[in-house]
Amino acid sequence: MKPSSIRKYVPFHRRFSIPLKDRQWPDRVIEQAPIWCSVDLRDGNQALAIPMNIEEKLEMFRLLVQVGFKQIEVGFPSASQTEFDFLRRLVEQGEIPDDVQVQILVQAREHLIRRSFEALKGVKRAIVHLYNSTSPLQRKITFSDSSKDDIKAIAVKGAQLVRQLADEAEAEGSEITMEYSPESFNDTEIDYAIEICEAVMDVWKPTVERRMILNLPATVEWTTPNVHADQIEYFCRTVKGREKVWISLHTHNDRGTGVAATELGLLAGADRVEGTLFGNGERTGNLDIVNVALNMNSHGIDTGLDFSNLPHICEVYERCTRMSVHERHPYGGELVFTAFSGSHQDAIKKGLDRRKKSAESDPVWEVPYLTIDPEDLGRTYEAIIRINSQSGKGGVAYIMDTEHGLELPKSMHPEVGKIVNDEADRQQKELNADEIREVFEAHFVNLSKPLSLGEYELFHQTETPGMVRCIAQVVYEGKELQIEGTGNGPISAFVDAIEHQGWKNFRLTDYRSHSVGKGSASNSAAYIQLQDVDNGRLLWGCGIDTSIEIAGLKALVSAFNRLQHKPA
C-alpha cells in the first residue's frame, strides 16, 4: 500500500476502548469444549457462488449430524422459497434427531419473523436467532443516521413478536430457544451493546433453567484477537443475569485471526461457538470449527465432535459446496501431514519408529512436527512424507519401509537418498512411492552388469566342518564362466570364487537381511556394503529373491557391479 493511502485508515483503539484493566483471560486455559453450532447451511451457504440446492443441503445436514453437532443453523427460511422448503422437508420427513436443535436466522422485521415461524411449524426443538445491526457505522449508513434508541426499539419490537410466536409454538409442542445478536458487536460501543442485549433479555425473561443465547458476532474483524477477548470478558462481567444466558461467539476472518479470536474469546468466558467446516463464509470466511475442535483434541480435550474420517468430510464438503480445502489448510489439507524437508523427514521417521516401540507403555503422542496423529483423522502414514529434490535420506527410507516393506540399513540412507533426490531434481517434480521404488531398483537391486549370477550350487565340506564349497555359473563382461570358491557360508564362498578370478577389489563391510511381506511366498531382501580397497569408497547393493541365500548373493553382486563404475 502506498503511504498516501494509509492515511485513510484509523487504528481501532482510537474509535473504541475497552474499560478492562484487570483482565483475567490471559491467565486462563481452555479445559473444556464449548457448545458448538454449525452455520454451514446458512452463513456458509449464502457465501457460495452457487448456493446448495435442497439435496445438497440435506446431504450436508446429515454429515453435520454424523459429526456430532447438536445445534445446526439450517437457513434463513424467510429469505427464499428454497430455504423455506428445506426446513419444511427436515421437519416433515423426520430428518432432525431428537437431540438436535435446528436454528434459523431472522432479521428483526415483522413479516420475516412470521414467515420464519411458519417454516418451523411442527418442529420438536429449535433456536430462533434474531438480529439487527447496532454499530455506529451501520446506524450511520444502513439505517440513515438512526439513533441508538431507534436501533434498540427495532430489537425490542422484534423480540416481543418472537416471544409471542414462540409461546404459540410451544403450546403446540415445540421447544423454542431464543437467541439474539447485536450484529457487528465487535465494532459497537461495548456499553451500548450490553444495553441493547439487556433490553432483549427484559422481553424474553430467561432463567437459569431456561437460558437464552446472546451471540456476540465479530461480523467483520477490525482488530487483534486480544481486543476481542477484552470485549467478551467485559461483556460477560458486566451484563446483568449472566447466569441466565449462554454467551456465544461468531467470528469472521477478515484479518486471518478468526481462530485465535475464538480461542481467546473462550478464555474470556464465552460458552458457545458458531462456525463452519473449514471456515467457509463471507469474504475471508467464518470461524473454522474443524480447526478449533482439533486444536482442543490435540490438547486432550473431548469436543463431542467426530473428525476421525476427515477425508470423507472433506469430500462431502467439497462436492456440496463446490469449494476446495486448501492443500495447507490446518488438519484437512492434503499437504499438512507431508514433509518435504530432509531434516523434518528424518525427525518424523525417528519419532514414528520410537512410537511403534513404545506406544503401549507410553501412549502420549510425541512425534516431531506432527501435533496430532494423522491416523486419528482417518489419514494414513503413507502420505506423511513425500519426496522431491529437497527431501532427505530419512524420508526416502521411510517411503521404502512403509510403502514397499524394504528396511534399508541406516548407513545406506544417505546413498539412496542422494540418488532419489538427484532423479527428482532431474525430472523437476515430486516422485511418488512407485517412482521411488523404480529408482531404487534401477540403481541398487539385482544388478547384472558387468557380473550376473546364474545357477548356484552349495556343497558342505565333510572334511572341514562348517565350511562350504560353491560352484556358480556367471556371466562377466559378456563371457560365460563357471567359478568355484570355499568359505564358512554361501556369501563368503562366493567372495572366495570372485577372488580366485582376480576380480576382488573390495572388502565386505556390512550385511543385513529381512523378509518382505508375510507368508511362505514372500520375498527376502538382503543388503551388502562393500568398500573399494583402492579409494575407500563404500557402496551398498540390494538383492531380492524368494530365497534368503540367493537374495544375499544377489546383493553382493549388485554391490560389486556398482563398485565397478568409477566416479567421474
* pLDDT tens sequence for the chain (568 residues): 888 898 888 887 767 778 898 999 999 999 999 999 999 999 999 999 999 999 999 999 999 999 999 999 999 999 999 999 999 999 999 999 999 999 999 999 999 999 999 999 999 999 999 999 999 999 999 999 899 999 999 999 999 999 999 999 999 999 999 999 999 999 999 999 999 999 999 999 999 999 999 999 999 999 999 999 999 999 999 999 999 999 999 999 999 999 999 999 999 999 999 999 999 999 999 999 999 999 999 999 999 999 999 999 999 999 999 999 999 999 999 888 888 777 888 888 889 888 888 877 888 999 999 999 999 999 875 545 567 666 667 788 888 988 899 999 999 999 999 999 899 889 988 888 899 999 999 999 999 999 999 999 999 887 888 899 999 999 999 999 999 999 999 999 999 999 999 999 999 999 999 999 765 567 999 999 999 999 999 999 999 999 999 999 999 999 999 999 876 5
Each as own residue / partner, the long-range contacts of residues 291-295 (CB below 8 Å, 24 or more positions apart, any chain) are 291/259, 291/330, 291/331, 292/259, 292/262, 292/263, 293/33, 293/36, 294/330, 294/331, 294/372, 294/377, 295/259, 295/263
Radius of gyration of the chain (CA): 34
Distance CA 266, CA 248 (A): 9
H/E segment holding residue 313: helix 310-321
* Cβ-based neighbours of 512, under 8 Å, separated by 6 or more: 407, 409, 526, 527
Grid cell digits, residue 196: 441493547
Listed residue (542, 559, 446) closest to 498, CA to CA: 559
Per DSSP, 367 falls in state: B
Check whether 561 is labelled as a binding-site residue: no
Check whether 286 is labelled as a binding-site residue: yes
Listed residue (448, 495, 497) closest to 475, CA to CA: 448
Check whether 252 is labelled as a binding-site residue: yes
Distance CA 122, CA 110 (A): 21
Cβ burial of 436 (10 Å; 0-12, 13-18, 19+) is buried
State the pLDDT at residue 565: 83
Question: Are residues 93 and 62 in contact, defined by beta-carbon separation less than 8 angstroms?
Answer: no
Distance CA 182, CA 184 (A): 6
Check whether 500 is labelled as a binding-site residue: no
Residues 9/15/20/23 CA torsion (nearest 10 deg): -20
Grid cell digits, residue 517: 511381506
| Segments in 93-212 forming alpha helices (H) | 110-119, 136-141, 148-171, 190-204
State the pLDDT at residue 395: 80
State the pLDDT at residue 463: 81
State the pLDDT at residue 232: 98
Ordered DSSP codes for 222-263: -S-HHHHHHHHHHHHHHSTTGGGEEEEEEEB-TTS-HHHHHH
Per DSSP, 467 falls in state: -
Listed residue (82, 36, 87, 81) closest to 61, CA to CA: 87
Neighbours of 8 (CB within 10 A): 7
Please state at what angle helix 190-204 crosses helix 225-238, rounded to 10 degrees: 40
Listed residue (26, 25, 19) closest to 268, CA to CA: 25
Domains of the chain: 34-303 (3.20.20.70), 342-443 (1.10.287.1400), 451-564 (3.30.160.270)
